[in-house]
Amino acid sequence: MAETLLTNPGESPARAAGLRGIADDWSSDQRAFKNVSWGKAMMWIFLLSDTFIFSCFLLSYMTARMSTTVPWPNPSEVFALEIAGHHIPLILIAIMTFVLISSSGTMAMAVNFGYRRDRVKTAVLMLVTAALGATFVGMQAFEWTKLIMEGVRPWENPWGAAQFGSSFFMITGFHGTHVTFGVIFLVAIARKVWRGDFDVERRGFFTSRKGHYEIVEIMGLYWHFVDLVWVFIFAFFYLW
């Protein structure tokens, strides 16, 4: 027998309990998504799809590492540097991680000042974030160059399992591409903020309504996602 949800005439229907109540909320309450802009919604959808891609890459890497019969290279030795005669493991990776996490902090501050409509501080902090991101990409390019000169290729490496090279270039390269595009968009958005495009509603790409800095928040969502993905790459690839 169907459950009666109406109380008195003219009153709102009573909310069902349990899973049925959750289903009713998501299927009938339009307010859940009515106030979300299309730009922010599309960014969340993009990040969700990207989460599946990075998850597949990391799961493939773990499967290859656990199934290979050839010894896997020790990341502490592979990614070590000789500095002043001292053999320091993972020093470059630690600096890269610090730089990228720091950029997440400057991006958060940029979004905060964007809410306050402080265009100068917002633009400066976005440029600082872009500089930190470019520094990360530069260090990653140095890391790639060093390993290539030592004989690492997508199909082989001199320290053991051949899957190491393909996993390394695929995962770090895909992430580095995300950071590179993020830097480009950060500079582009920072330039628009600096010029005051969002204050005068100047026509052009990525220009929102007058007085709205929502694109800065959307850019922040992307950048924080890139930083979060690196944390997982750092944990599974470099520390394992």
Q: Calculate what percentage of the chain has a pLDDT beyond 70.
A: 81
pLDDT tens-digit readout, 229-239 = 999 999 988 88
Residue 190 confidence (pLDDT): 93
Confidence of residue 1 (pLDDT cuts 50, 70, 90): very low
Of 206 and 166, the structure prediction assigns the larger pLDDT to 166
Confidence of residue 28 (pLDDT cuts 50, 70, 90): low
Three-state SS letters, the chain: CCCCCCCCCCCCCCCCCHHHHHHHHHHHCCHHHHCCCHHHHHHHHHHHHHHHHHHHHHHHHHHHHHHCCCCCCCHHHHCCEEECCEEECCHHHHHHHHHHHHHHHHHHHHHHHHHCCCHHHHHHHHHHHHHHHHHHHHHHHHHHHHHHHCCCECCECCCCCCHHHHHHHHHHHHHHHHHHHHHHHHHHHHHHHHHCHHHHCCCCCCCCCCCCCHHHHHHHHHHHHHHHHHHHHHHHHHCC
pLDDT tens-digit readout, 50-107 = 999 999 999 999 998 898 888 888 888 888 888 877 788 889 999 999 999 999 999 9
Residue 34 confidence (pLDDT): 61
- How confident is the model over 31-43, as a mean pLDDT? 73
Q: Which two tokens stand for residue 89?
A: 């493991």
Q: Which two tokens stand for residue 51?
A: 């989460």
Mean pLDDT (the chain, rounded): 84
52, burial (CB in 10 Å: exposed 0-12, middle 13-18, buried 19+): exposed
Domains, the chain, ordered by start: 36-238 (1.20.120.80)
- How confident is the model over 149-167, as a mean pLDDT? 88
pLDDT value at 179 more than 90: yes
Distance CA 223, CA 186 (A): 9
- Residue 133, Cβ neighbours under 10 Å: how many? 27
Residue 2 confidence (pLDDT): 43
Residue 99 confidence (pLDDT): 96
Of 134 and 19, the structure prediction assigns the larger pLDDT to 134
Of 3 and 63, the structure prediction assigns the larger pLDDT to 63
pLDDT value at 221 more than 90: yes
Confidence of residue 4 (pLDDT cuts 50, 70, 90): very low
**Residues ≥6 apart with Cβ < 8 Å to 78:** 147, 159
Min mean pLDDT across 9-18, 29-38, 141-150, 229-238 is at: 9-18
